Every structure is written in structure tokens, then in C-alpha cells.
């Protein structure tokens, strides 16, 4: 593993690291914030999964999460959103290919060779963190924005018992019925919609529900509301009687200004579960 940078940050360290990934067959880069408490022993971990076009860097530099993670003694991991490199399949569209991994393991060519982001985020990277840093992988929670919110919800519902709490900012809620989903699922997983169900938060909520506390924030002025389909997930939550808090924040859009405005609430929410 290569250390790209390490900077003192709110008493802890914000690092950026790169390594050769078994899952993707590429070099992968991630950000990791360790609070001061990690100098004395393992600390709980909150994953932040980012959205379309993002790298590890967007949330790391724009969400403002480190200050509140430091207050609670929680580590933050910011993975990349896809494999990258000259030999990695890509597309001219911003919402397919590099920067748009959708946190799934592709089965279709040319994507299957490298696009194994579910395996990377849920298996390889947690083991790497536990082996090199003071991380307690027995205490994990997860959040994300947009495509990353989709990832946070679907990973949590398909890995019961893994995460102590789950939250999302403006998540893609029903990708099987959205242009932010149908095109990508067809490319990565093929035409069989049965495969899509494992990666659709609304369908998973209807079929399985969630075994952890859930907080979702979305903006009333979100310019991508028709693509997110928040109302579909809200209906599934209500039909299942799933304990959850879903808030529509008046006047907020899809940007990191929105994320940074409510990140303190999300860190408080996760800290309560992680330190319980």
C-alpha cells in the first residue's frame, strides 16, 4: 500500500492511500480519516460512498465530515466510485463506466473484468483497513450521496448484521425504474431484471427491509428528483412499516452544499449506534 498524503486534521489524520486491488484488478485509491482516538486503539468506522462522476476526493474535501467524526471518535473511509485506468472499460456518458460503478459486481462484458465494486467495498477494502489501521470492523456504519446513497442502502439490506446504522443523502431509490439505473443495470448485469432486484433499494425494502436504524435526507429543490424516485422508497418503507426517518429539506438541491448542511445530523445519528 502506498501513502499518497497524510495531513493533520481536527486532531486526527486525513490520509489518502493507493493499493493494487484483487477485486478490480487495478490500482485503487481511497481516503481515510482517523480521529485522535485511533492513536490509542481501534475506533468505529463510517463509510461514505460518493456519487456519479466522483472520486474518493469529493466527499473527503467537500462534505465537512471530519470535524464531526473527530468529535465522536469515528473513522471515515471514502472509497473511489469505480475502477480506473487506460485498460478499464469506459463510456462517453458521465453516468456509465469510470466514475459510475454503482457499487455492484458486473457480470457482462466488457465491464465484468474490472467493475467489481461490491466485492471491493464490502470484502477487500474492509480487510485492508483492519490489517493496516486502528479500525474496529465489528462496529461499522454506512452513508452515501446520490449513487453512493443507493450503494449504502442496497449494501446494508443485502448484508444484514454488517452495519449498525444506515443513512443517505439524496439516494437513487428505485434504479430499476429510473434512467439512473436501467441503462447501467443493462450494461453491467444484462437484461434479466431478476438480477437487478439485489441493487434496487425500493425492491429490497419491499422484499426484505432493513435491520438497522435508517436516516434519509433529500432536498425539495433537488434538480434530479425525477431520477431519484424518493417517493417509491417512501411508499415501500410505509408499506413494510420499517422504522426510518425520511426528511425532505425545504429549498435544498443535490449539491455538496446540501450534504455539508446536514452532515452533523448524520454523524450524530451514526455515533449513537456505533458507540451503543
pLDDT value for 12: 98
Task: Identify the active-site residue in 72, 174, 254, 270.
Answer: 254
CA atoms of 71 and 36, how far apart (whole Å): 10
Q: Going residue by residue through the chain, which has 276 residues, state the pLDDT in tens, using 9 for 90 and above.
A: 999 999 999 999 999 999 999 999 999 999 999 999 999 999 999 999 999 999 999 999 999 999 999 999 999 999 999 999 999 999 999 999 999 999 999 999 999 999 999 999 999 999 999 999 999 999 999 999 999 999 999 999 999 999 999 999 999 999 999 999 999 999 999 999 999 999 999 999 999 999 999 999 999 999 999 999 999 999 999 999 999 999 999 999 999 999 999 999 999 999 999 999
- Cβ atoms of residues 25 and 113 within 8 Å: yes
DSSP 121-163: IIIIHHHHHHHHSSEEEEEEEEEEBTHHHHHHHHHHHHSTTS-
| Active-site hit among 80, 95, 200, 222 | 222
Largest Cα separation within the chain, whole Å, is 50
Q: 0.75 cut: is pTM over it?
A: yes
pLDDT of residue 255: 98
CA atoms within 13 A on the CB side of 42: 13
3-state SS assignment for residue 46: strand
CA distance to 5, 42, 59, 82, 213, per residue, from 17 (Å):
7, 19, 15, 15, 31
Q: By C-alpha distance, which of 162, 248, 150 is closest to 202? A: 150
Catalytic residue among 21, 146, 170, 178: 146
* H or E stretch at 8: strand 2-9
Residue 5's DSSP bridge partners are: 16
Q: Are 40 and 240 within 8 A, CB to CB?
A: no
Active site residue 146: yes
**In this predicted structure, what is the pLDDT of residue 20?**
98
For each of the domains in the chain, give its residue range(s) and CATH number, in order of start. 2-274 (3.40.50.1820)
What end-to-end distance do the CA atoms of the chain give, in Å?
33
| Residue 14, C-alpha cell as written in the block | 486525513
Question: Three-state SS for 268?
Answer: helix
pLDDT at 60: 98
Which pLDDT score, from 0 to 100, does residue 130 have? 96
Whether 150 sits among the annotated catalytic residues: the reply is no
Alpha-carbon distance 190 to 214, whole Å? 30
The pLDDT score that the predictor gives to residue 29 is 98
Q: Are 13 and 134 in contact (CB under 8 A)?
A: no
**Which parts of 42-81 fold into alpha helices (H)?**
57-62, 66-72
Question: Is 254 designated active site?
Answer: yes
Amino acid at each position: 500500500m502506498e501513502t499518497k498524503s497524510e495531513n493533520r486534521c481536527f486532531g486526527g489524520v486525513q490520509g489518502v492511500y493507493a493499493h493494487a486491488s484483487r477485486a478490480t484488478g487495478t490500482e485503487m485509491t481511497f481516503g481515510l480519516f482517523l480521529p485522535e482516538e485511533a492513536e490509542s486503539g481501534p475506533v468505529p468506522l463510517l463509510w461514505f460512498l460518493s456519487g456519479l462522476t466522483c472520486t474518493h476526493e469529493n466527499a473527503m474535501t467537500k462534505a465537512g465530515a471530519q470535524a464531526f467524526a473527530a468529535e465522536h471518535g469515528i473513522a471515515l473511509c471514502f472509497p473511489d466510485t469505480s475502477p480506473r485506468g487506460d485498460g478499464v472499460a469506459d463510456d462517453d456518458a458521465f453516468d456509465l463506466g469510470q466514475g459510475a460503478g454503482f457499487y455492484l459486481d458486473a457480470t457482462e462484458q466488457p465491464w465484468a473484468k474490472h467493475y467489481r465494486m461490491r466485492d471491493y467495498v464490502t470484502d477487500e477494502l474492509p480487510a485492508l483497513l483492519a490489517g493496516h489501521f486502528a479500525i474496529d470492523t465489528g462496529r461499522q456504519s454506512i452513508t452515501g450521496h446520490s449513487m453512493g446513497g443507493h450503494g449504502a442502502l442496497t449494501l446494508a439490506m443485502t448484508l444484514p448484521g454488517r452495519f449498525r446504522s444506515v443513512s443517505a443523502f439524496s439516494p437513487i431509490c428505485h434504479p430499476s425504474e429510473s434512467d439512473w439505473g436501467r441503462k447501467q443495470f443493462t450494461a453491467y448485469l444484462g437484461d434479466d431484471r431478476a438480477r437487478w432486484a439485489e441493487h434496487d433499494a425500493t425492491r429490497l425494502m419491499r422484499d426484505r427491509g432493513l435491520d438497522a436504524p435508517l436516516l434519509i435526507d433529500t432536498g425539495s429543490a433537488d434538480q434530479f428528483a425525477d431520477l431519484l424516485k424518493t417517493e417509491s422508497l417512501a411508499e415501500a418503507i410505509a408499506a413494510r412499516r420499517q422504522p426510518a426517518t425520511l426528511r425532505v429539506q425545504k429549498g435544498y438541491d443535490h449539491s455538496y452544499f446540501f450534504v455539508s448542511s446536514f452532515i452533523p445530523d448524520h454523524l450524530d445519528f451514526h455515533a449513537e449506534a456505533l458507540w451503543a
